[in-house]
Amino acid sequence: MSERTWPTGWPTGWRAAGAAALLAAGCASAQADPIEDFYKGKTVSLVVSSSTGGGYDTLARMLARYLPKHTPGAPTFAVRNMPGAGGIVATNHLYSIAPKDGTTIGAVQNNTPFEPLFGTKQAQYDATKFNWLGSPSVETSIVTVWHASPAKTWREAQTNELRMGSSGGNSTPSFYARLVNETLGLKLKLIVGYPGQNDALLAMERGEIDGYPSAFYNSLMATRPTWIPEGKVNLLVQMGAEKEKSLPGTPFIFDLLTREEDRQLWQVAVGPLGIGRPYLMPPDAQKDRVDAMRKAFWAAINDAEFLAEQDKMKLGADTPRTGEQIANLIAQAYRAPKSVVERIRRLQQEP
Alpha helices, DSSP H only, in 105-252? 172-184, 197-206, 217-223
Cβ–Cβ under 8 Å, residues 85 and 53: no
Cβ–Cβ under 8 Å, residues 173 and 166: yes
Count of domains forming the chain: 2
Q: What is the pLDDT of residues 66-89, one digit of tens each?
A: 999 999 999 999 999 999 988 999
196 in a structural domain: yes
Let me know whether 56 and 130 are in one domain.
Answer: yes
pLDDT at 29 (0 to 100) = 47
Let me know whether 54 and 118 are in one domain.
Answer: yes
Q: What is the pLDDT of residues 150-173, one digit of tens each?
A: 999 999 999 999 999 998 887 778
Let me know whether 177 and 234 are in one domain.
Answer: yes
237 in a structural domain: yes
Cα 9 from Cα 253, distance rounded (Å): 88
pLDDT at 28 (0 to 100) = 46
104 in a structural domain: yes
Q: What is the pLDDT of residues 167-226, one digit of tens each?
A: 888 777 898 999 999 999 999 999 999 988 889 999 999 999 999 999 989 888 888 999
Is the pLDDT reported for residue 235 higher than 90? yes
Residue that is last in its domain, among 237, 272, 307? 272
- Residues 6 or more apart whose CB falls under 8 angstroms from that of 272 comprise 109, 110, 111, 113, 114, 139, 172
Let me know whether 134 and 248 are in one domain.
Answer: no
Let me know whether 215 and 253 are in one domain.
Answer: yes
Element (H, E) at 56: helix 55-70
Write the single-letter amino acid at 340.
V
pLDDT at 169 (0 to 100) = 81
The average confidence (pLDDT) of the chain is 89
The CATH number of whichever domain residue 117 belongs to comes to 3.40.190.150
Domain with 301, as residue range(s), is: 36-138+275-349
| Cα–Cα nearest to 182, from 346, 322, 30 | 346
279 in a structural domain: yes
Residue that is last in its domain, among 253, 272, 291? 272
15 in a structural domain: no
Let me know whether 237 and 250 are in one domain.
Answer: yes
pLDDT at 148 (0 to 100) = 95
Averaged over 44-51, what is the pLDDT? 96
Model-level pTM? 0.72
Q: What is the pLDDT of residues 264-313, one digit of tens each?
A: 899 889 998 999 899 999 999 999 999 999 999 999 999 999 999 999 98
Let me know whether 80 and 185 are in one domain.
Answer: no
Q: Where does the pLDDT of residue 241 fall: very low under 50, low under 70, confident under 90, or very high at 90 and above?
A: confident
